[in-house]
Amino acid sequence: MSRRITGRQMLAWGFGALSAPAAMSLAGLAWNRVLAGGVLAAMLLAVQAGLQRRTALPTAAACRAAFGRRASDLLLILTLIWLLLAAADAAKLSEGIFERGKGAEAAPAVLLALAALGSGKGTRACARAAGVWALLLAVLFGVVLAGAASMIRVPWLAPWGAAEQIPQSAALLLAPSALMYLQAAGAERRLLRRGLTALACGPAVLCAAVSGGLSPQVAAREPFALYTLTKSVSLLSVMQRFEALLSVGTMTGAYLLLTLLVCCAKNIVRLLAPRAENWAPGAFCVLAFFGGEIVDRIPAAAWITGAAVFWGFLPALTQWVVVRKKDGKNTKKGVDKSVSL
């Protein structure tokens, strides 16, 4: 059995991890702004994947090769702090999945505990599970979108929204960059192109369905706009109750996102302090749980900046430096050979 995560598993894990923030944070935004943000995120991830193919190194290992031990340790510690804040925010966000008074307050603790246990099974086991869950999530969202199609009004599909929504959506859609900390990009080029296309267009389609079914004003006002839309979804002219399924599906997506962040943090800890690898996921999740009160005070601009740095430009810069170093070594070898001849 291969010890690597397959390209399909990586794409499925990325889709599953994005399903929760897409459903809760992006669905109420303007589809045209989310489309622009998705294209920007897909371009950055494409650059990272292209450079990583040349280095064949996960992002954390590439950071060590690019900047040396001291500088890379500092950068990886800062990345750990960013992952911790992102996990705390994702766990805090899960409180809004269920209605108040129905166990919503316990959701962060349950999800973080499950993420810690899941990461203990190993990255490949988490990837295999994500492949199964992602398929079920795709069916669920497909059913919701199919039911919402009859509710869409064409005038409500006109472009709208503030320009600030573009960096906001791009920051959220950069989360799959965490997959490149687990191993070097292994998806086939055709499969990778399909995944990036889905990343760029999929959330925009979801936003269009929500704003087209509820109206842009209602979609922007609702804290969980997709949930509100699902209350009115009908299939074959029969009203169906999909809210519970959507809540469970969104909770599953939040679990996949947290598992990805915990596995990413575990891989970084393995590089920084190998002896702490076994207990690091548990400690990480405990800190993320108590960090829930802190993340509420972080402004949106700080989240956008953090995502751009740690999931966008820093991984790309790291891989680029390694590529330049490899090219320099190959050039020097070629010159030495020509001189010897």
The pLDDT, as a whole number, for residue 31 is: 94
Residue 331: which pLDDT band, with cuts at 50, 70 and 90?
A: low
The pLDDT, as a whole number, for residue 287 is: 93
The pLDDT, as a whole number, for residue 339 is: 47
Residue 103: which pLDDT band, with cuts at 50, 70 and 90?
A: low
> Minimal CA–CA distance to 206: which of 279, 136, 278, 152?
152
Alpha-carbon span 111 to 115, nearest angstrom: 6
Residue 1: which pLDDT band, with cuts at 50, 70 and 90?
A: very low
The pLDDT, as a whole number, for residue 29 is: 94
What is the arithmetic mean of pLDDT over 213-240?
80
- Please provide the size of the chain in residues: 341
- 323 has a pLDDT exceeding 50: yes
Cα four-point dihedral sign 148, 152, 156, 160? positive
Q: What are phi and psi of 23, to 5 degrees?
A: -70, -35
Domain ranges of the chain: 7-340
CATH of domain 7-340: 1.20.1740.10
Q: What percent of the chain has a predicted confidence (pLDDT) above 90?
A: 50
Higher pLDDT, 96 or 236: 96
- Cα radius of gyration rounded to whole Å, the chain: 21
The per-residue pLDDT for range 272-307, each reduced to its tens digit, is 988 888 899 999 999 999 988 888 889 999 999 999
